[in-house]
Chains A and B, each alone.
Chain A
Amino acid sequence: MESSSILDSLGVEIIGVMAPVSICMFLVVLLTYSLSVTSDPQIRTAANLIYVENPSDSATVKLEGSLENAIVFVVVVAAVTFVIVLLFYYNFTNFLKHYMRFSAFFVLGTMGGAIFLSIIQHFSIPVDSITCFVLLFNFTVLGTLSVFSEGMPIVVRQCYMVVMGIVVAAWFTKLPEWTTWFILVALALYDLVAVLAPGGPLKLLVELASTRDEELPAMVYEARPTVSRGRNGGGGSSLRVLVGGGGGGGGGVSDSGSVELQAVGNHNANLDYNAVAVMDRDSVDGVVRSPLAGNPRETHSASPAFSEHSRELGSIVNRESVAEEEMSPLVELMGWGDNREEPRGLVEESDDIDRGIKLGLGDFIFYSVLVGRAAMYDLMTVYACYLAIISGLGCTLILLSVYNKALPALPISIMLGVVFYFLTRLLMEPFVVGMTTNLMMF
């Protein structure tokens, strides 16, 4: 412990979110690269209800049509979100769960199945239809179960969230070009409003879930560690302390003496508690129940007993329907106390390690859609967009640790991604190609 530097554990949770996003984007790019020729160009979804883009149309027609498409799409998304909020408000939680189970099954089975079929065709993999069907069915059932039941290891759940992100994003990359850009920008704006504006549907949803002490009925990726990080608990939750110290200025530093003492004392106790948690997990035979997860909730709602819900807190990810392209694009980090300057704040964070950062599945999807669209132009734009999106995500996470409330993850990333795409395409490409073909570098 003494010889380990703070560098070892710093930023773990940021990487915990960035890694799956990167994997998702990478696989979508691979998919679009290898399959873009064979897949049929036009699909009908909610995203192009009004206008079917034709490459030969004039720019103004494309502009108007894509704008209409984007508006309709956002309106549909908003409407469905409001319906979900209503259902959740009137306690139709089970209905929501079952419906989302169905839609997960549907997405994995049909859309995923179509993608698998095209992969099989493209690489001419010799597999007969019965085997293929059985494999697909098993895959789908495991996916549906894994995202819902408590008995699954979190790794499986995380994998399936990424897979669903890939499937839906690969589907969306078949949208025509202009419509894609307009929809991305429109969704980023919608996300901003829905999460931050008073009365925004996602804000309502999050508030409702936290006052009612229930899990958010949405498809979210939980960046919970796969193994309880008892060993380096202090560093794991360090992001906020770090940013608090950097951004908040002197407030945290002035009373550092007492902070240190108290924090260390409680910290050791906390380590023991973590160790207990690990044993507990093992003894329930793979059932991932997180005793720590209930803790911050107690401080919030002051409900003394662990209800059924709070027992399931960490383990059930409810979901929205992907079939309707209804996502919950938000990063959420529940349970971080508001007492930043008080000494006990540090301890509470240590408690919260197991909750981790949550990222809506929609963010996965639309990041990947942007990168996949960039992949249709050139590899250079892919790298630029990837870097832009990841840095936008990083900015969002830092803002998250400053503001301590649910934040939209799309706006910064998407805006940066779009800007970098066009800058790369218009400015950088001729420059770099001109340099490199003369073998000039610097």
Chain B
Amino acid sequence: MTVAAGIGYALLALGPSLSLFVSVISRKPFLILTLLSSTLVWLVSLIVLSGLWRPFLPLKANVVWPYALLVLSSVCFQEALRFLFWKLYMRLEDVLDSFADRISRPRLFLTDKLQIALAGGLGHGVAHAVFFCLSLLTPAFGPATFYVDRCSKVPFFLISAIIALAFVTIHTFSMVIAFEGYAKGNRVDQVIVPVIHLSAGMLTLVNFASEGCMIGVPLLYLVASLTLLHCGKMVWQRLIESRNQSGSTLR
């Protein structure tokens, strides 16, 4: 039974990403490679951040501002890293295009670019879920569960899986938004991504208050669904645009 619970928590956090992986990513080897490298980038960023913050740990359990500072610095660092990731991707895209010319195949389609962005975002999201939720899940397979004081209604593993799911969604689709924003030079999309990330991070600070998770988690899900909505709208518009432009069928 506890094994079932553990698997359930894991699937709660990673189930949607798993189905995305199976249905979209795993079909194309290149997307798998993109996903792996973006996961690695996120892991490296986490290691660097933890290295920076290591001297100050453990933080005091009852003061909130060091945590706020920590989240702020982490988000800034990761957003900077996202920009670097984008630069890297631009070079990759050039290489891919020239390669496609050389073997006389069509260049990257719009959907290809979107899929690469999706794979990159999914890598970030999966890394988040893996390191913040899945890696702490080992005790959940044992014969007990665990509650934290500040959120005494819900088991710790369940609440962390739920939060991780929200962050997976945010990371995955904000990467698509960011890539499109950079590619089109759209100022709004460029700015909205760090704002989403920062507000999501700050919303987890609500959990710091006693029973704050009852309010913080729904707000987090509001942000996640807004991200999803924005991303869907933007992708839809882009697809319509490019169909009108080229007149040819898109895959």
Contacts and interface: CB of A to CB of B under 8 A. Distances in A.
Interface of A: 2-12, 14-15, 18, 234-235, 238, 241-242, 245-246, 252-253, 256, 259-260, 263-264, 346, 378-380, 383-384, 387-388, 390-391, 394, 420, 423-424, 427-428, 430-442
Closest 10 CB pairs of A and B: A431-B50, A380-B135, A442-B201, A439-B207, A15-B29, A11-B29, A10-B30, A246-B95, A379-B135, A428-B50
17 contacts: A3-B106, A6-B103, A8-B27, A10-B29, A234-B103, A241-B99, A263-B103, A346-B103, A380-B131, A420-B47, A423-B47, A432-B131, A432-B136, A438-B148, A439-B148, A439-B213, A442-B78
Given A245-B99, A380-B136, A436-B160, 10 more contacts: A8-B28, A11-B29, A14-B33, A241-B99, A378-B135, A387-B36, A423-B51, A427-B47, A428-B47, A440-B204
Contacts of B75: 442
Contacts of A252: 102
Contacts of A423: 47, 51
Given A427-B51, A439-B163, A440-B71, A253 B36 contact: no
Given A7-B28, A440-B67, A2 B106 contact: yes
B57 A441 contact: no
A431 B54 contact: yes
A383 to B, nearest CB: 5
Contacts of B36: 387, 390-391, 394
A442 B57 contact: no
Interface of B: 27-33, 36-37, 39-40, 43, 46-47, 49-51, 53-54, 57-59, 61, 67, 70-71, 74-75, 78, 95-96, 98-106, 108-109, 112, 115-116, 128, 130-138, 148, 150-151, 156, 159-160, 163-164, 167, 197, 200-201, 204-205, 207-208, 213, 216, 249, 251
Contacts of A434: 57-59
A238 B201 CA distance: 41
Contacts of A2: 106
Contacts of B116: 7
A234 B201 CA distance: 45
A259 B102 contact: yes
Contact of A379 (B28, B103, B137): B137
A430 B54 contact: yes
Contacts of A5: 100, 105-106, 108-109, 112, 251
A420 B128 CA distance: 17
A8 B116 CA distance: 12
B10 to A, nearest CB: 10
Nearest to A267: B103
Nearest to A243: B95
B75 to A, nearest CB: 5
B101 to A, nearest CB: 7
Nearest to B159: A439
A317 B246 CA distance: 51
Which has the most chain A C-beta neighbours within 10 Å: B58, B131, B151, B167?
B131
Given A259-B102, A441-B132, A6 B57 contact: no
